[in-house]
Structure 1
């Protein structure tokens, strides 16, 4: 299995080694999230390099739709995989949804059109998150990249237990409906946690779509 998480975790020990935090008695989730926010470009650059190399390897594919996804965590804690749902297509054989992504890390995944199908790449993945006070929630990110149609994303953060593991649960019909009404950007807020998503077609590769998702603490932006 290829490497699917990039960047060094930003922890309490990381901050203690920084001059501005050496004399701070209590280092909070917000502090760690704030540093992760500042390190985002550097960490995402490493993930982007990997994804760009992967695109070159797949440039001679059968032309089916491929979604290259990046998930960046700046919540001050670890986010953990909680579930997923395929509307059309599936994860590439060499890919996985990272089981956990620590604060300041960027996880990646590859979702592709099923061989022999023309319905594109459309799916969702759910991660457990915590706000600045440690209250648990679930972060859902979804994408729709149909063949020869507009690409879309939809994200949402809500309390635990909302997204059911049963693929036939009505919640997935609602997600798909919201996704169909969305556009190339989406955002959500829940108890001080904020998520954002963008979907951008690859300039140099037909039917290749880049999906970027970030979850953060609102207090980290102060």
Structure 2
């Protein structure tokens, strides 16, 4: 399989984040198989395990579930039809360095009507994710690009993500930080 190339523009990532994102998308790319439209690699760089508190599948089907708990590096995979593609979101919770409960939201899509792959991320206090407006998340995702980064100053949490590849065969990589 040819290597998937990501265009990293419009979002400022540190050199370390760029290198990590390249590794994560390569990891996801290598796990793609014939029935999957999208594979993802998630890296937990926080102080402890992360647990799923919410998820939403807008389009497509899960082939391999989001890892729960996410302890270090793990993968997921989804499939979908050519027309609808894949669109989903997951919210993880865990603790920051001060021991506060925090949340990290990752949304992604690889659909024919989204003009290529898109990712959207948010992070902050866990309460921010207690009543998620999925329609609003979907709208923000549709306005996003192939690379996303969020940093919450109050909690010290960060999340960066990218999606690479041609429509219908994408790789998502994301790093969760405190």
Detail structure 1 runs of 4+ shifted over 4 Å in the superposition: 47-51
Report the counterpart of residue 110 of structure 1 in structure 2: 77
- Equivalent residue in structure 2 for 1:158, among 124, 149, 158: 124
Cα distance in 2 between the residues matched to 1:110 and 1:49: 12
When residues 50 and 85 of structure 1 are mapped into structure 2, their CA distance, relative to the original with a 3 A threshold, is closer
TM-score normalised by the chain length of structure 2 = 0.77
Which structure's CA Rg is the greater one?
A: 1
Contact 2:28 2:173 (8 Å CA) reproduced:
no
Kindly report the root-mean-square deviation, in angstroms, between the aligned alpha carbons of the 2 structures: 2.7
Give per-residue Cα distances to partners, 1:85-134, cap 9 Å, x unaligned. 01111212xx11111122xx111100221x5x611100001110221101
Number of matched pairs: 157
- Which ranges in structure 2 are unaligned for 5 or more consecutive residues? 1-15
Q: Which residue is equivalent to 2:107?
A: 142
Residues 1-150 of structure 1 aligned to structure 2 (within 5 Å): 48=26, 52=30, 54-55=31-32, 57-58=33-34, 61=35, 66-92=37-63, 95-102=64-71, 105-113=72-80, 115=81, 118-147=83-112, 149-150=115-116
Query: Relative contact order (alpha carbons < 8 A, sep ≥ 6): 1 or 2 greater?
Result: 2
Structure in which a larger fraction of residues adopt strand? 2
- Give the alignment's TM-score, normalised by structure 1: 0.63
Higher helix share goes to which structure?
1
Could you give the per-residue CA deviations for residues 3-43 of structure 1, whole angstroms, max 9, x where no partner exists?
xxxxxxxxxxxxxxxxxxxxxxxxxxxxxxxxxx8xx96xx
Is 1:179 equivalent to 2:141 in the alignment? yes
Structure 1: runs of 5 or more not aligned: 1-36, 218-222
